[in-house]
Chains A and B, each alone.
Chain A
Amino acid sequence: SQQGEEDPQALSIQEGENATMNCSYKTSINNLQWYRQNSGRGLVHLILIRSNEREKHSGRLRVTLDTSKKSSSLLITASRAADTASYFCATEDNAGNMLTFGGGTRLMVKP
């Protein structure tokens, strides 16, 4: 069954605005990862946050993790048209290295 669920399913913003996407999951995790996918292409790993971390930054990306609420958020600051893509969260469980993906958020950044 699906472990992660992203919210919203679709998001449309103007260039320069911030974009926030949320992810909820169901079971205990070892880490949570965010990926980006351009249409019809493979996924690109963006950032990994471990279960004992609460916040992580990478360039214009900021990820938070709240294990008590089993949720994470991805913030993209000062968005650009090139950020238009689908964004997925994925969780790695404590038992091994299998990633389970959510349905994704489709982000459109209008120039």
Chain B
Amino acid sequence: ETGVTQTPRHLVMGMTNKKSLKCEQHLGHNAMYWYKQSAKKPLELMFVYNFKEQTENNSVPSRFSPECPNSSHLFLHLHTLQPEDSALYLCASSFRTGGYTFGSGTRLTVV
């Protein structure tokens, strides 16, 4: 365990479903991130939260909706996704600067 826990590990959802990915860290980090990793593409930064405030939204479609209720928890709400959204979604946390700690990811398949 890295200290960053993501659930679920695997998720299969239909295009009309609504689901949420969860990330939790108890490392005392003040920043949390969502990354998307698709096959044969570099990791894409989706959202950044610093001290619970969203500071970055990298032109992510509105069908992805992040939520950060406190500095230890981060959610990614999903609705009306497309098959091309199938990917590994990685959560990470860090202090203001320095190395990131990643979770094991959620493998999402949209059918």
Q: Are A48 and B98 in contact (CB under 8 A)?
A: yes
CB pair A30 B97 closer than 8 Å: yes
Interface centre among A41, A88, A97, A102 (most CB of B within 10 A): A97
Q: Which residue of A lies closest to B94 (CB)?
A: A97
Chain B residues whose C-beta falls within 8 Å of the C-beta of A88 in the assembled complex: 43
Q: Contact at A42–B105, with CB atoms within 8 Å?
A: yes
| Size range of the chain A interface in the assembly | 20 to 34
Q: Mark B88-111, 1 if CB is under 8 A from A, else 0.
A: 101010111111111111010000
Produce 1/0 per residue, B46-81, CB < 8 A to A.
001010000110000000000000000000000000
Verify A43–B99 contact, CB threshold 8 A: no
B13 within 8 A of A: no
Q: Which residues of B contact A103 (CB under 8 A)?
A: 41-42
For B98, the closest partner residue in chain A by CB is A48
B42 touches A101 (CB 8 A): yes
* Chain B residues within 8 Å of A43, by CB: 43, 90, 92, 100, 102
Are B45 and A99 interface neighbours, CB within 8 A?
A: yes
**Which A residues fall within an 8 A CB radius of B?**
2, 30-31, 33, 35, 40-45, 48, 88, 90, 92, 96-104
Known: A35-B102, A43-B90. 5 other contacts (CB 8 A): A42-B103, A43-B92, A44-B102, A45-B102, A90-B100
